[in-house]
Chain A
Amino acid sequence: MRIMKRGLLTAFVALAMTGTAFTTAAHAEGKLTLSSSQDPGSWDPIDTFLVAWAAVSTNIFEGLTYRGPDMELVPALAESWEELDEGKRIRFKLRQNVSFHNGEPFNAEAVKYTFDRLLGEEGAKGPQRSNYVAIESVEVIDDYTVDMKLSTPDPVLLTKLAGYGAMIVPPKYIEEKGEDFFNLNPVGTGPFKFVSYEPKVGIKLEAFQDYWGGAPKLSELDYRFITEPATAVAELQAGRVDIVIPPIIPIGMIPVIESDPNLEVVSVPGPTVDSLRFNTREGITADPKVRKAIIMAVDRKTIVDSILAGQGAEIATFQSALSFGHDEELAPLPYDPEAAKKLLEEAGVEPGASLQIDIRGNDATMNEVAQVVASYLQMVGLNATIKPYETNVLLNDIIPQGKTGAMFQQKWGGWTFDYDNTAYSMYHSGEKWNPYEKDDTLDKLLESQRPLTDRAERERILKEIGAYVADRALELPLYNTNAIYGVSKRVKNFIAPPDNRLKLTDVTVE
């Protein structure tokens, strides 16, 4: 026993000593520690769609264009561009005196290499290619001029060039080191360069002193992969993480962060929208009157205020307010249970009629929301049952094969913030996410805006699509959720981007 007591005492002393050591180490000067909810596994831009990739890689790689937190498209590696041949060719003037982190120069060859690779054999192995299929070829005009030839005009292309698969990669480096090496040792032109990567643990970056835009103010970035929300928040509270990158902080934990004097919650409207889509082919929801009645029966504002604790906004169409094609004027159907009842009566729906709501089982917020929706429907005499599916099963099987209940969850979060991206997949006939609706008018509208280079005209058509969908009441639009960041107050000049693409050039820490 005596030995045991002494052992315990030693252990506690050792603990106390190491304890003090770790808290001080976390606040190193010029070093920012971030938690990211996922390890994308590869840093190659063409391998993934994961926002967790972008949260890191926006600092390593750059595209020809750049879109910051203000959502404005600005020049990046291309200093300027012009659309030629009715939008079928874009000429880019490239920035000069830019080099990759390995010293390799950035030039027209690098751009051509990047897109040849994306559209070629290597790109075929990854998911990114499908976003850039409008590009037919890239031609080098001179060292700092390239022409991008398109098979069809793609109005969203310039936005797409600002992220993911269009990130410019170093040709010589990849050819010499090989694709596998590049996956794990990324090299770009961005403000931070890669230092080390430990799978499932984290990735470390350091300031790239020769960055064309001037060296970043921070000297080190340390991203840690933390999948468990409570753990991420605990790390933030313990001062071992400075920024928790969404999506991870649950709404329920916001007060915990807010109550800590050293921390704050930074919340911005994100790209993610949720709706409950109707089965418009059969059942009571085949009748637009019933669908409208259901929309009017649900008080969406209360849902946003109480369940989302204000961390979101009501929507009229299936897009974020930041999205291109969003219509300020278009208001959602009002909450009016009396009118809803009347509509149901007109449609001949018996009180007590039942319907099923299919949702993603792992979506805690939607689980709550669906409960509330069901009770609103109960008040107008509809008996809703909620069926949570394993997410993959719902996405890969139930929805594409049209085996859903009367209502099913749709969730979308495209980083491009362009309604086309969402609407086409959601409403064009034959699309995977659109198992029930076949509407020529809608198909034509969707097709007509795609080749337009006239932004104003395209925006008008997108708004028309939004209004048409709302009028047909194809879905019960719910909300656009905010991206919630947990940030330590030692972090200065941090502007939270809505799309997780954090570029930390100007950020400093105290």
Chain B
Amino acid sequence: MAGFLVKRFLQAIFVVIAITLLVSFAIRLTGDPAVTMFQGGGSMTEDDLARIRAALGTDKPFFVQYFDFLKGIITLDFGRSFVGGTQVSTLIGNAVPATLMLAFVSMAISIVLSIPLGIMAATSRGKGLDQAIRIFSLIGLSFPNFWLATMLVLLFSITLGLLPPSGMGGIQSYIMPGATMAIILTATNVRLVRTTMLDTLQSQYVMVARAKGLSETTVLYKHALRNCAIPLVTYFGLQFGSLLGGIVVIERVFNWPGLGTLAFDAVGARDYPVLQAVITVLSLLIVGINLLVDIAYGLIDPRIRTE
């Protein structure tokens, strides 16, 4: 296990370096943050720009800047935002819990919904319930999340006045952003659970479990579900990555102070340090989740644990 962790860690470092290098390089092609700073302001001279560039450190060669950034990661000091000069670590520190909470709430809602629905669909394969669940999941899949979010806001905030339309606050503020993500996730997850379950239900041990006289609930939720867990956990792990991507839009619509909002603003302002940090943290999160998935394999499947 230790060897495995070390290997994973080295992989993570490689991934972070590769991704940040790419992102850092790409964003520097899109414009000068010094110029952005003067937008809306008075005239600027080359002197002014040079002064600002020196203050921001963007006058240094790219690899020097990048190396400074890498050094910063090790000391957990991502530098300062070009917008306002706040410590990037402070911004990240505020945004990570917000994003993770939202992501976990969405995943949790989706998993809690999709497992029973998927199992119901699998056990009633080809019948009305199965068809209904599949049609709903198709509808769910075809919603653009932006549109779905707007519709939810119109209904629950403006027409019914039940939920706050945006912002992060109490439990009620999680409901709409969580549900928006969850509806879209559930649409795919239900299908996945259904397919995996159908496969598992063909297994001999499911028949054996029935032959023992176990109730159908025990057969499905104890014997079959545990065995579905490996592909499902793998998929949920992968999905977490794309979930973090999708969250950017959701965060913006619901004005959620997470990594997505941070990244969105940072791109607009050419705020390199913030963007680099967000990308680093996102890739670390994804690597971390995959690590958790690997550890979860061991917990779920003794074949992996005891090897």
| A residues at B contact (CB < 8 Å) | 4, 14-16, 18-19, 22-23, 38-42, 44, 47-51, 124-131, 180, 183-184, 198-201, 224-228, 230-231, 234-235, 237-238, 240, 390, 392-393, 395-397, 413-416, 421, 424-425, 431-432
Contact = CB atoms under 8 A, between A and B. Distances in A.
B265 interface: yes
Nearest to B252: A228
A199 B255 CA distance: 12
Given A49-B38, A238-B161, A201 B43 contact: no
A49 B34 CA distance: 12
B94 A199 contact: yes
Contacts of A129: 48, 51
A227 B252 contact: yes
A102 to B, nearest CB: 21
Interface in B56-114: 81, 83-87, 90-91, 94-95
Given A22-B164, A130-B48, A238-B161, A231 B30 contact: no
A125 B84 CA distance: 11
Given A47-B84, A200-B95, A226-B166, 6 more contacts: A42-B83, A124-B55, A131-B41, A228-B252, A231-B253, A421-B43
B31 interface: yes
Contact of B41 (A49, A125, A226, A234): A49
Nearest to B38: A127
A128 B48 CA distance: 10
Contacts of A393: 30-31
B166 A131 contact: no
B255 A226 contact: yes
Interface in B7-53: 30-32, 35-45, 48, 51-52
Contacts of B140: none
Contacts of B265: 38-39, 200, 227
Interface residues of B, number: 58
Given A127-B41, A226-B255, A235-B165, A183 B171 contact: no
B158 interface: yes
Contacts of A48: 37, 83-84
Contacts of A392: 30-32, 35-36, 270
Identify which of B81, B95, B164 gathers the most chain A CB atoms within 10 Å of its CB.
B164
A421 B41 CA distance: 9
Interface in B117-174: 150, 153-154, 157-158, 160-172
B261 interface: yes
A238 B164 contact: yes
B289 interface: no
A416 B42 contact: yes
A228 B255 contact: yes
B162 A183 contact: no
A421 B45 CA distance: 13
B38 to A, nearest CB: 5
B251 to A, nearest CB: 10
A16 B39 contact: no
B257 interface: yes
B233 interface: no
A165 to B, nearest CB: 10
Contacts of B83: 39-42, 48
Nearest 10 Cβ contacts at the A-B interface: A41-B84, A42-B84, A392-B31, A49-B41, A19-B162, A125-B55, A234-B165, A41-B83, A200-B257, A18-B172
B198 interface: no
B40 A413 contact: yes
A390 B30 contact: yes
Contacts of B168: 201
A397 B43 CA distance: 17
Given A200-B94, A393-B30, A127 B52 contact: yes
A40 B270 CA distance: 14
B272 interface: no
B220 to A, nearest CB: 13
Contacts of A22: 163-164, 169-170, 172
Contact of A198 (B42, B94, B158, B170): B94
Contacts of B43: 130, 421, 424-425, 431-432
Contacts of B264: 227
Given A41-B83, A124-B55, A183-B84, A231 B42 contact: no
7 contacts: A125-B52, A183-B86, A228-B166, A228-B253, A234-B165, A396-B31, A425-B42
A124 B262 CA distance: 26
Given A18-B170, A42-B86, A227 B261 contact: yes
A183 B85 contact: yes
B116 interface: yes
B35 to A, nearest CB: 5
Nearest to B47: A130
Contacts of B165: 231, 234-235, 237-238, 240
Contact of B255 (A49, A198, A231, A395): A231
A156 to B, nearest CB: 9
A15 B175 contact: yes
Interface in B234-282: 252-255, 257, 261-262, 264-265, 270
Contacts of B169: 22
Contacts of B85: 41-42, 44, 47, 125, 180, 183
A400 to B, nearest CB: 9
A199 B30 contact: no
A90 B121 CA distance: 82
